[in-house]
Amino acid sequence: MAWTDRGSLAAYEPPHDLLDEFLVSGGDGRLALSSDSRNAYGCTPFPQDGLIDFASSTASSISPLAYARARTAREELLTASLRDGPDRACEDASTRARQALLGHLELNGTGAEVVFSASGTDAQLQTLFLVRLLNPGSLATVIVGADQTGSGTAHTARGRHFSQATSSGAAVQKGGVITGLEGIGAFEIGFRDEDSSFREPTLMDEAVLAAVEKALGSHDHVLLQAMEASKFGWKAPSDTLLDDIAARWPGQVTIVADACQLRITRARLKQLLVKGMLVLVTGSKFFTGPAFSGALLVPHDLAVRLADAKSPAGQLAGYATRFDWPEAWTGLRHRFSHRFNFGQWLRWEAALEEMRLYYAVPAGFRERMARLFGQAMRDAILGARHLGVVESGFSPELPTIFPLRLTQAHEALSAEACAAIYRAMGRDLSALEFENRALLAKPCQIGQPVALAHSKAALRLSLSARHVRDCWSANPHRTELNIALLRDTLSTGVAKLDLLARLYPFSDEARA
């Protein structure tokens, strides 16, 4: 199935199953597949059998059930295109996906709207674009948790291209200013302070407030990006400070919550929107949809204003199409291409299936699984000699991401070593001359390294929605067997990580 710039169906090749190619289309270079069909995150666009996977803080390979849903969705869109015409079929498909996302997140009736994007990073640019559209004066961004957000944020916060190609495939200059987003200032507040120590929550609040005040001293409007769940699952600043900022500078500060990990409750999401905050989400972290499925949730009052807004031509053209914007936003969306981002939509269909399956599990069991996973993680770490959990005052009461320091002789391993171990975790290393070859043979996907102070890093193991729904069964005995299997699998992953930390550095063959 191939789509022209106007979204029309150009050709369909029944003998060829192109689903895998579609699932990696409509993004940037991070989706490109290597010779072994893996993207930049080590994930495949088709289900992987026998993989130990605790990598949902970064990305996951698609599950069999989500893959089946993507296949069905593709055929449904083909049928609708032949019946109603491609443009109408694509419009309806986008609308249904919006409705499904709002439904799964229990946001129906809030008046919130959904803006789809290729990734959470693309959604940051869309947010900046919309805030500039509603506030034409000078603009600055304040990024909270800048050292634990996407690497592209340093560019998107300033209205710059974060890659060498956009999601539409247009070649751009990384770091170059996007037309219409010139002159945007940026202030970055990390979880680590100037001494590279983790801040205390009260000191983080003080730093954020000072940054907002400084930004408003030289700009008409500020976009404050609050961190709802960082790469370590941490939140900052406090709700008390966010409420204070909103009350002190109404009309001057717009708050967007970075909930791209989607490791928060539906009640919390609704609370953020009711307070008037924009919210960034993805379907590809906790919910394990294929990498590159982003969205911006827009609260009711801002959505009403944007329905009447008009977009200057050319702005953000490479990062969105008309189908990404709500159908009611006619003044904005008609400036964008009619090209339907088929890959982006397919990835969201897969992610929505994961959401449906997860929320079909009883709420009490979902919370129980978070507690059980946390305990299983702590038990596994107790038996590890080279691993330790990174903790701070920002850690949630019920964490689902566990950042781990790797050590040798009680000294933390370097970021370079952590990167090598991260890659080795996903490979069969049974060729290494070591007695525990059975353990080394098991591929295990974990979260990418996150930089710490002094050229160190942490690796992450995480609970995912897929773990939860895979454990649930209407048969209590089967449920307990599934939980025991997850515990054993987690122990295996932790044991391999501990062993690799001990064995580092590896032979040249193992590093390949």
> How confident is the model at residue 49, as a pLDDT?
85
pTM of the model: 0.94
| Among candidate residues 145, 149, 97, the one with its CA nearest the CA of residue 121 | 149
The two tokens of residue 116 are 């789809």
Given CA atoms 278, 134, 252, 207 in this order, what sign does their dihedral have? positive
| Among candidate residues 324, 344, 361, 367, the one with its CA nearest the CA of residue 283 | 344
Confidence at 436, pLDDT banded by 50, 70, 90: confident
Higher-pLDDT residue of 133 and 312 is 133
| Among candidate residues 124, 102, 130, the one with its CA nearest the CA of residue 270 | 102
Long-range pairs, 45-50, Cβ under 8 A, ≥24: 45/19, 45/20, 45/21, 45/290, 46/19, 46/20, 50/443
- Mean pLDDT, the chain, rounded, equals 92
How many Cα atoms occupy the beta-carbon half-sphere of 24 within 13 Å? 21
CATH classification for the domain delimited by 361-511, as one of 3.90.1150, 2.30.30, 3.30.70, 3.30.1490: 3.90.1150
DSSP conformational letter for 285: S
Measured distance CA(380)–CA(260) in Å, rounded: 28
Confidence at 507, pLDDT banded by 50, 70, 90: low
Mean pLDDT, rounded, for 183-197: 92
Collapsing DSSP states into helix, strand and coil, what is residue 359? helix
Pairing of strands 253-258, 221-227: parallel
Confidence at 359, pLDDT banded by 50, 70, 90: very high
Please give the share of the chain, as a percent, with pLDDT higher than 90. Answer: 84
Q: Are the C-beta atoms of residues 222 and 187 closer than 8 Å to each other?
A: no
| Among candidate residues 63, 70, 25, the one with its CA nearest the CA of residue 43 | 63
Collapsing DSSP states into helix, strand and coil, what is residue 3? strand
Q: 135-179, pLDDT tens digit by residue?
A: 989 999 999 999 999 989 999 999 999 999 999 888 999 999 998
Given CA atoms 468, 473, 476, 480 in this order, what sign does their dihedral have? negative
Write down the H helix ranges in 360-475: 363-382, 415-425, 437-440, 465-471
- The answer on pLDDT for 444 being more than 90 is yes
Mean pLDDT, rounded, for 254-282: 98
> How confident is the model at residue 192, as a pLDDT?
94
Measured distance CA(165)–CA(179) in Å, rounded: 15
> How confident is the model at residue 313, as a pLDDT?
57
Q: 28-87, pLDDT tens digit by residue?
A: 888 989 988 999 999 999 999 889 999 999 999 999 999 999 999 999 999 999 999 999
The two tokens of residue 186 are 């940026």
- The answer on pLDDT for 352 being more than 60 is yes
- The answer on pLDDT for 511 being more than 80 is no
Q: Where are the domains of the chain?
A: 111-348, 361-511
Angle at alpha carbon of residue 397, lines to 391 and 402, rounded to 5°: 45
Architecture of domain 111-348: 3-Layer(aba) Sandwich (3.40)
Cα of 28 vs its chain's centroid, Å:
15
Measured distance CA(456)–CA(372) in Å, rounded: 29
Q: Which helix (H) or strand (E) holds 406?
A: strand 401-408
